[in-house]
Each structure stands twice: as C-alpha cells, then as structure tokens.
Amino acid sequence: MAFPAGRFIVIFANKHSADLIDNKSLTIKSINMKTIKLETKHLLNLLLVITSLLGYLEWGKDERIFLLEGEILIISKLFTDFTSVIHPFILLPMAGQILLIVTLFQKSPSRLLTYLGLGSIGILLFFMFLIGLLSLNYKIFLSTIPFLVTGFFVIMKNRKQKTEKILSES
C-alpha cells in the first residue's frame, strides 16, 4: 500500500497501527504497521541486489569493469561456454542475487534467504573492499561502500525484528 507524500496527515499512531486523514476526501484510513515493515525489508533486499551491481574492478593497465557489465558477460557465456564461468567467485554471488530476488516475491522475506544472499554476495564485495583498501584504489574501495552499508542496515533490521518477536512472545 503506497501513500502519496503530503496527501495524508497522521492523527494517531502506535507501534502496531496508524490512523491517517486523507486530505482530498477527508476520510480516515487505518493502516497496519506490519505492512510498512514488510515493504522496508523488500526495499532493503532490492537495494542489496542493486548495490551489488555497482562494484568496480581494475586490473592490468587498461582493464576495468563494473560488476553489472561482468554479470551480463557471464550470463551470455553461461549458455555458450559454461566451463569458463564455473568459479566460486562467479557462481556464489550470482546464487546470492537469485536468493535475494526470490525474497522480493515472498510475502514476508525469509531471514534465512536474506542472510544467505547477503553472505554470498558479501564475500566477493568484502574482498573487493579489502583489495581497494590495500592497493589504495579509491574507485574499487568506494564502489563497495553502498553494498556494505546496505548490508549493515539489513542485518540491523533483521536483528531488531527478531528481538521484537522474542519480546512479544515473552
């Protein structure tokens, strides 16, 4: 459920629900806050997929590629020369992206699939982060920051939700 900015005024809210006044029709609408939490988890998982494609690599004299370009090349080679793309640093991050894309179609994104996807992609991007840091290549280093920051927020969101669930059951 999407609400246009500026159209609704919050008249009552607690951690479970909120009542809104529609400025156009002057009707009161109630929303369940769990709906908003689900949208946040979906958005964070989508951001993980998008930011994983922003990674940048440089090697040799004039060799450079963004991970999005590399992934397009890998997918095209997947059907023509499968043996050239069989490598853990290729297959593991792609499997992670597939897992995260699967969570986008779930009513409530699975915490396990989210963590598996984050970990699978995170291995590659964390190594790229270290390579950029150790080689003092700011392009590689900075290209991994959006994914790592988003990953941090995903972990915090899932841990917070788990803690809230445990407290509500007590």
Per-residue pLDDT tens, the chain, 170 aa: give them: 555 555 555 555 555 566 555 556 555 566 665 555 557 888 999 999 999 999 999 888 889 999 999 899 988 888 888 888 888 888 899 999 999 999 999 888 999 999 999 999 999 999 999 999 999 999 999 999 999 999 999 999 888 877 766 667 76
Residue 23 resides in a domain: no
In a domain, 5, yes or no: no
Question: What is the domain count for the chain?
Answer: 1
Helix extents (H) in the chain:
33-52, 67-80, 88-104, 111-134, 138-169
Model pLDDT, residue 27:
58
The verdict on residue 76 lying in a domain is yes
**Measured in Å, how far apart are the chain's first and last C-alpha atoms?**
31
| Residue 15: inside a domain | no
Residue 26 lies in a domain: no
| pLDDT attached to residue 156 | 92
Domain that holds residue 120: 34-169
